[in-house]
Amino acid sequence: MKKNEFFFKQGPFALNVLIKSINCKNDFKSKELSKDKVYGIETLDKATNGDITFLNSSKYKDYSIKTKAIACITSSNLSNFLPKKCIKIIVNNVLLETNKIMNQFYPKADIDYPDPDLIISSNIKKNYPKVFFGKNVLIGKNVKIGKNTFIGNNTIIESNVLIGENCNIGSFVLIKNSLIKNFVNIKDGSKIGIKGFGFIPVKNKNLRSPQIGRVLLEDGVEVGANCTIDRGSISDTVIGRNTFLDNLIHIAHNVKIGENCIFAAQSGVAGSTNIGNNVIMGGQGGISGHLKIGDYVRIAGGSAVLKDVLKGQVGGNPAMPIREFVKLRKKKWKKIQLIKKR
């Protein structure tokens, strides 16, 4: 039941009311659950005994077996990975039914509505005596900005955003749903904290999914020009201390990147991937979703990482150990030379 400073949350709801609103396969007796109150929806590891959660993959069984949630939306084949005390809500489509619950708690989080409380910075400069604003900067309610921070021209900082000390925010930057620590550098045109690519495909229609997480930028992070960092869907998107992102990089929702990483231009990381410390990825590299990348891993430019890489160096599409990649390239090069001689 963590506090969400960016989205208005409705509830609490009786558990039996929530169950009735989805396509549940269990045969619960309504009176048994009417006294159980649910205060929010959280991830398996963050949920308390007042929250509902969900489990849609065995990848998360290490978290699910320890969850403290009062109830969990899951499938019959995954229900064994939950504690006995946790009420198992069995459904056919976990993400679809979870989406229905999320919409009840957060009915306005499926679209990025414009912030109605923006004020031109020159009108509230007295609130930020040690902050340097460019021209036409718009600031929302309850924004906190540390001393010696520069905000460039035509930048928008929406309500409840926190920016630390000694930061440099470029021009035409948009920041929402984000907590930014000290000595962070965000270059021109980047968008931080926007809604990620969250949707549920159903027959003949795509349903938008609420995205209620945040973006956390730790001390010393650098974000290049025209990057996009999506906020988390339920958990947060996190960029670790002293990690540098080049220009034109996309970081999807729920991604966790460790400390001292370097990502070259036009890289991308798909949702819910966890990346360790001191990782380097070359330009135009891509990492698929829900993967684990270990500390000190090196990813060659243009690589497509489709499975976990816990150590070493990889390259190619699909990515493979770098020595295998080099051997394969040599073989292909020899074949090309033979064809040219014909």
* Catalytic residue IDs: 253
| Backbone conformation region of residue 296, classed left if phi is above 0, alpha if psi is from -120 to 50, else beta | left
How many CB atoms lie under 10 A from the CB of residue 123?
9
Which residue type is seen at 125? K
Q: How far is CA 241 from CA 20, 222, 332, in A?
A: 44, 9, 40
Query: Cβ distance 181 to 217 under 8 Å?
Result: yes
* Sheet-wide strand order for 144-145: 144-145, 162-163, 178-180, 215-217, 237-239, 256-257, 274-275, 292-293
Q: Which residues contact 93 (CB under 8 A, 6 or more apart)?
A: 23, 200
